[in-house]
Chains A and B, each alone.
Chain A
Amino acid sequence: MENLVAVNTAFVNVTYNGYNGNLEGNINYDASSDEIKNWVKEALRTGTIPGIPAQTEVDLTDFTIDKFAADGNLPARIFCRPKATFG
């Protein structure tokens, strides 16, 4: 069956508390940074990211969302990482 709405999806890679893993399933590439952070936060709390044990306290306040569109053989991908800005 043909999809009525084409959704541009991406995988999400997360680094937290010394662990790194990908969110299970892809998400909408066009989701806002706040939406993505909320999904990541929930996944970290519940321990549903393979490779990252459940986290009792999750703080993504100063994390940033990097988005990379699909390019050649590489799929669209999103990274949730700490900011690295110095003043």
Chain B
Amino acid sequence: MSLEAGVLLSVTEEPIYWHVPNNRSSSALPDSRELWNKIWENKDKVLGFAHSHPLGIICPSQEDITTFSAIEIAIGKRLLWPILTKEVITYWQWNGPAKFNYHQIYISFSNKKWIYMLYNVSYSYRFLFAGLPPL
């Protein structure tokens, strides 16, 4: 069983908070006041929020994009929004000009540990023992 999960990342590429709510599913992370509080509490050091798409879609959904925008409006700064599927990780960022104009950017993290950990909390436990896939 694969389930969506997320992780709040710091500008130093370290996980700040793991978001694995009990009510998550393979296609959604329901609205979470707790997640919002963590973002707000860490607004000065947050780089972005990564989440997984177990169904394999590499692009942000409309739900994702409207959330990206609302959170950025609330904290007053732009964030990075990585999306992890079983096969690939993509990175998304607003580059305008319209409110919902989020585009893929190409970057590489020096610390990839959080990617593997997000993979493990999102996808079947067997991957813990079968080795991690290339990212």
Q: Closest CB-CB distance, B90 to chain A, in whole Å?
A: 14
| A19 CA to B43 CA, complexed, in Å | 11
Is B126 an interface position by the 8 A CB rule? Answer: no
Q: Are A83 and B67 in contact (CB under 8 A)?
A: yes
Size band of the interface chain A makes with B: 20 to 34
Shortest distance between the CB of A21 and any CB in chain B (Å): 13
With A62-B67, A86-B6 given, name 10 new contacts (CB 8 A): A15-B75, A16-B73, A64-B31, A82-B36, A82-B73, A84-B35, A84-B36, A86-B28, A86-B61, A87-B28
Whole-angstrom distance between the Cβ of A54 and the nearest chain B Cβ: 14
Please tell me if B64 contacts chain A, counting CB pairs below 8 Å: yes
B63 to chain A: closest residue by CB = A87
Residues of B within 8 A of A18 (CB): 43, 75-77
Please indicate the chain B residues that have their CB under 8 angstroms from the CB of A73 in the complex: none
5 contacts between A and B (CB under 8 A): A16-B73, A63-B74, A81-B33, A86-B28, A87-B28
Which of chain A's residues has its CB closest to B24's CB? Answer: A86
Complex Cα distance, B90 from A48, in Å, reads 41
Closest to B37 in A: A81
Say yes or no: A84 contacts B71, CB within 8 Å.
yes
- B51-A82 in contact (CB<8A): no
Separation in Å of the A65 CB from the closest CB of chain B? 11
- C-alpha spacing A62/B64, complex, angstroms: 11
